[in-house]
Amino acid sequence: MRKMLFATVLAGFASLTGLNGTASAQTIGVSFHVFDDNFITVLRNGMIKHAETLPGVKLQVENAQGDVGRQLDQIKNFIAAGVNALVVLPVDTSGATAITELAAKANIPLVYVNREPNNVDSLPKGEAFIASNELDSGTLETKEVCRLLHEKGVKEAKVAVLVGQLGNFAAKTRTQDIKNVIATPDCSFMKIVDEQSAGWQRVKAADIVTNWVSSGLKFDAIIANNDEMAIGAIQALKASGQPVKDLVIAGIDATKDGLAAMADGSLKVTVFQDAAGQGAGGVDAALALLKGTPLEKKVYIPFQLVTPANMATFANRN
Amino acid sequence: MSNTLSLSNAGVAARLSRYSSTFNTLFGLVAVALIFELLGWIVRDQSFLLNAQRLSIMILQVSVVGIVAIGVTQVIITGGVDLSSGSTVGASAMIAMSLAQVSTNAGALYPSLTDLPVIVPVAAGLGVGLAVGLVNGIIIAYTRIPPFIATLGMMVFMRGVANWYTRGDPVSFPTSSYVAIGAGMTPVVIFLVIALMAHILLTRTLYGRRTFAIGSNFAAAGRSGIKVGKHLVLVYAIAGLLSGFAGVVLSARAQTAQAGMGVTYELDAIAMAVIGGCSLLGGRGTIFGTLIGALIFGLILSGFTFLRIDVYYQEMVKGIIVVAAVVSDTYRQKRLARRVDAGK
């Protein structure tokens, strides 16, 4: 009885992992830096759905849970299990050299997706990087905010900034983008009055904005590193009776919730990053490298500005 | 401590220590508030405390973790710990929200289960929490493995459940009656009502006496006729139920549920209880203390944003306060024990 139970459990596990496939299939080992992030989830699902449409391609997806060591172990295990190619979203973009070396030594094609490794310019043959250029997102966002404020005729615009998780590359870059745009002569009428980290989270952002309002901080615009925090800001402003629609609230990601907020007039600006496109692109690049097709070292999938005027085209894409 | 005291003194000492500990936490709260008030006038040229909106956000931003902390306090009093609460918040938020969606949302998770009466998602969220708590309690009471291990396993498991449920997709667009649970100051009212109920339960009922008895001396509690196993299951079930409820309130407040919700809430809740005078060795702690502990957290969060200080420092200060609170409490307890000894 006990043995039977054990066998059943084992069989269950085998079917869960999907390792009992045919031997001729191309297996791609995928290591994600994290799982529980909306954007990454769309990317992951885009990748999985795309792979399902390709006959003979199997993905084995694992979660490194933000741990550099765990990710390296996963990659070693993938190589030991004889995967045909690797797709990696590196936990630590400055520690990608170790991953590159592992793949090169095993002679397995490797594609970095979404997160730019620091060795991107020196990648060996058989390796590539696919993403959107992070420098574009915050720039597109802030330029549009600048344009809107200019259009409204604000002479000295006060801007409050909601930053993503501290130490995160996208949070750092997007915040720097804001400052770079403000440093240009066209947008120098904007001034940052405060900058706080809400760790990408809606509720935390709402709490910060309520704290701002309660200490009498005045602002014409709130520029958030992502839509979730922008929505949190909108909720807090509504709750404290502020005229949300007179302010310029901006986010990034064009999530479903973000587009809904844009539809009701409270979110003015967001930026679309093609998550599913990046996921699918990663798989395609890995297969291309497997066949020996030459590939650009960096393949960029462009960010796109989303405003009430063009928002309909982005519905249901992220 | 009870080793060094005669039995009659033990009760007095426990009472004394309970009051003095709460008094001390209260003193800490006032001290922190006054520091911010002073800095407010120096740096920002305005009052920190005399601002109704700020006072309300101070408590609002800690009420969800506060609800968790009330359950965790009871667990800690039994000498246990519950690491699974943060993940339970995440899982119950996801599951409750999936049953609270409006029919106008084209991407609803269960298109045939939309616009349900608010009781359905709330019951689902509470049910998830209760189930987690029951399993925690049964494992701890009947296999006798340390609560740390049992609830650590549950923490990882429930985060898995939260991620698996929608494969990581967020769940949004709830009905307005669901949103009402988290709107305005409702979370604060829920937090305070639960705190009051738990306070009465712990200080005025047999349930409370048994909880303290188990934490003070596990073996003696069993020998004196308390069904220790059953009682532990009850305590963990209540803690789980409250985590489930916190998940409902949090998702209603955010108007969305995400698999990563509630991360580190278990540690914040434990910290609030410990600042409030809970002993991790068991047998000591009050709901009032935990409430003050929660308020200290809220005070720091608001105070730092008010002074526009970087979030990095907020975390450092939070860490220092937890340790400082316990160190000062330990010293006080020792002094008190000597005093009671001397009076014997």
Q: Average pLDDT, stretch B179-200? A: 96
Beta bridge partners of A32: A63
In A, which residues are within 8 Å of B247 by CB distance?
none
pLDDT tens-digit series, residues B41-71: 988 888 888 888 888 889 999 999 999 999 9
| pLDDT, position B169 | 82
In a mutational test of the A interface, the residue from B53, B57, B67, B255 whose CB has the highest number of chain A CBs within 10 Å is B57
pLDDT(B174) > 90: yes
Cβ separation A38–B170 shorter than 8 A:
yes
Using an 8 Å CB-CB cutoff, list residues of chain A that contact chain B. 35-38, 40-42, 44-45, 166, 194, 196-197, 202-203, 206-208, 210-216, 228, 231-232, 235, 239-240, 255-257, 260, 316
Q: Average pLDDT, stretch B189-203? A: 97
Rounded to a whole number, what is the distance in Å from the CA of A177 to chain B's nearest CA?
20
User: Which of B62, B56, B58 has its CA nearest to residue B33?
Assistant: B58
Look-up of token digits 């409490």? B329
pLDDT tens-digit series, residues B118-157: 999 999 999 999 999 999 999 999 999 999 999 999 999 9
In A, which residues are within 8 Å of B159 by CB distance?
36
Q: Name the residue of chain B whose CA is nearest to A41's CA.
A: B168
pLDDT(B86) > 90: yes
> Which residue in the set B46, B106, B250 is minimally distant from A203, CB to CB?
B250
User: Which of B71, B334, B326, B36 has its CA nearest to residue B195?
Assistant: B71
Cβ separation B60–A232 shorter than 8 A:
no
Q: HEC string of chain A?
A: CHHHHHHHHHHHHHHHHCCCCCCCCEEEEEEECCCCCHHHHHHHHHHHHHHHCCCCEEEEEEECCCCHHHHHHHHHHHHHCCCCEEEECCCCHHHHHHHHHHHHHHCCCEEEECCCCCCHHHCCCCEEEEECCHHHHHHHHHHHHHHHHHHHCCCCEEEEEEECCCCCHHHHHHHHHHHHHHHCHHHCCEEEEEEEECCCCHHHHHHHHHHHHHCCCCCCEEEECCHHHHHHHHHHHHHCCCCHHHCEEECCECCHHHHHHHHCCCCCEEEECCHHHHHHHHHHHHHHHHHCCCCCCEEECCCEEECCCCHHHHCCCC
Rounded to a whole number, what is the distance in Å from the CA of A229 to chain B's nearest CA?
11
In A, which residues are within 8 Å of B255 by CB distance?
235
pLDDT tens-digit series, residues B310-330: 767 777 888 888 888 888 877
Phi, psi of B139 (to 5 degrees): -60, -45
d(CA B120, CA B205): 31
State the average pLDDT for chain B: 89
Rounded to a whole number, what is the distance in Å from the CA of B28 to chain A's nearest CA?
22
**CA angle in degrees (0–180, nearest 5) for B56-B262-A209:** 35
pLDDT(B6) > 70: no
Helix runs in chain B, H state only: 7-39, 52-77, 85-98, 119-143, 147-165, 176-182, 186-204, 206-216, 218-223, 228-254, 265-275, 287-306, 311-342
Q: Average pLDDT, stretch B32-38? A: 92
pLDDT(B172) > 70: yes
Q: Is B302 exposed, middle or buried (0-12, 13-18, 19+ CB in 10 A)?
A: buried
Rounded to a whole number, what is the distance in Å from the CA of B260 to chain A's nearest CA?
6
User: ipTM beyond 0.85?
Assistant: no
- Residue of higher predicted confidence among B101 and B25: B101
Cβ separation A44–B184 shorter than 8 A:
no
| pLDDT, position B11 | 58
Using an 8 Å CB-CB cutoff, list residues of chain B that contact chain A. 44, 46, 51, 53-54, 57, 60-61, 106-107, 159, 162-163, 167-170, 172-173, 183-184, 250, 253-256, 258-260, 301-302, 305-306, 308, 311-312
In a mutational test of the A interface, the residue from B44, B158, B256 whose CB has the highest number of chain A CBs within 10 Å is B256
| pLDDT, position A263 | 95
Tens digit of each residue's pLDDT, chain A (318 residues): 555 555 555 555 544 544 444 445 799 999 999 887 777 888 999 999 999 999 999 999 999 988 888 999 999 999 988 999 999 999 888 778 889 999 999 999 999 999 888 888 889 989 999 988 888 999 999 999 999 999 999 999 999 999 998 877 889 999 999 999 999 999 999 999 999 999 899 999 999 999 999 988 999 999 999 999 999 999 999 998 998 999 999 999 898 899 999 999 999 999 998 888 999 999 999 999 999 888 888 888 889 999 999 999 888 776
Cβ separation B168–A256 shorter than 8 A:
no
Name the CA dihedral angle for A264, A270, A276, A278, rounded to a multiple of 10 degrees. Answer: 180
| pLDDT, position B53 | 85
Count chain A–chain B contacts defined by CB atoms under 8 A: 89
Strands A221-224 and A248-250: parallel
Cβ separation B168–A196 shorter than 8 A:
no
pTM value is 0.79
Cβ separation A232–B311 shorter than 8 A:
no
Q: How many CA atoms lie within 13 A of A275 on its CB side?
A: 22
In B, which residues are within 8 Å of A317 by CB distance?
none
In A, which residues are within 8 Å of B162 by CB distance?
36
